Structure 1
Amino acid sequence: MAMERRKKRRKFDFFVPLLIVIIGYFAFVLVGQQVHLQEVAADQEAADARLAAAEAENAALKQEKADLQDPAYVEKIAREELGMTRHGELPYTDASK
């Protein structure tokens, strides 16, 4: 009868809790990696936006540099922004301003 009791009584099985702990650990690591990948993707998107803005500014500055090689453009800028005149010209100022 003592043998029958021992057969009916089960030993504690460590396999199932160990398997649950291992699966939980890998799930935790997977979620952490996904969060990190989302942060990296957001950083990449922000860097791409900054790069596009810098490239647009670079193109505008290259165009400005090319325009400054044209004497007519330089004269236009000198007249409009600096109020300069040619020798012998009289500057005109609008009285309504």
Structure 2
Amino acid sequence: MAQRRSSRRPRWFVIALLVILGYFGSMIVSQGLYLSHVHEDQALATERLTAAQAENDRLRAEKERLGELPYIEKLAREELGMTGAGELPYAPGKRSNGN
């Protein structure tokens, strides 16, 4: 009888040990997946930050150029269709087929 009791205890110990190892193994896997997602999010955020910084630099350069008269004149001509003093605006018309 003494041998039966001693053989049962190691079985429960092994089962409990396997359950504990399984639990910690699943925790390690889930934490690894979580860290993987965090690294992906960080990479995307870094990419967005780089794009925003480039856009910011472009806008700062545009702001500096807006203080220069030749650049303002260029924008007025190209985007607003304005003309200088004594100039006539050119608006291409439709071609007629001789009618």
- TM-score when normalising by structure 1: 0.84
- Equivalent residue for 2:37, pick from 30, 35, 39: 39
State the distance in 1 between where 2:40 and 2:52 align: 18
Q: Which residue of 2 aligns with 1:93?
A: 91
How many residues are matched?
92
Deviation at 1:7, TM superposition (A): 4.7
Residue 17 of structure 1: aligned partner: 15
Residue 51 (structure 2) aligns with: 53
Which consecutive segments of 4 or more residues in structure 1 shift more than 4 A? none
CA distance in 2, matches of 1:20, 1:90: 90
Whole-Å separation in 1 of the counterparts to 2:94 and 2:76: 22
Corresponding residue SS for 1:86: coil
CA displacement 1:39-77 (0-9 Å, x = unmatched): 111110111111011111101100110110110000011
Runs of 5+ unmatched residues, structure 2 = none
Of the candidates 54, 64, 72, which is equivalent to residue 66 of structure 1?
64
Is there any run of 5+ residues in structure 1 with no aligned partner, and where?
A: 1-5
SS at 2:89's partner residue?
coil
* Identity fraction in percent: 48
User: In structure 1, what residue type is equivalent to 2:58?
Assistant: A
Aligned-CA RMSD value: 1.8
State the one-letter code of the partner of 1:36: Y
Task: Give 2:76's aligned residue.
Answer: 78
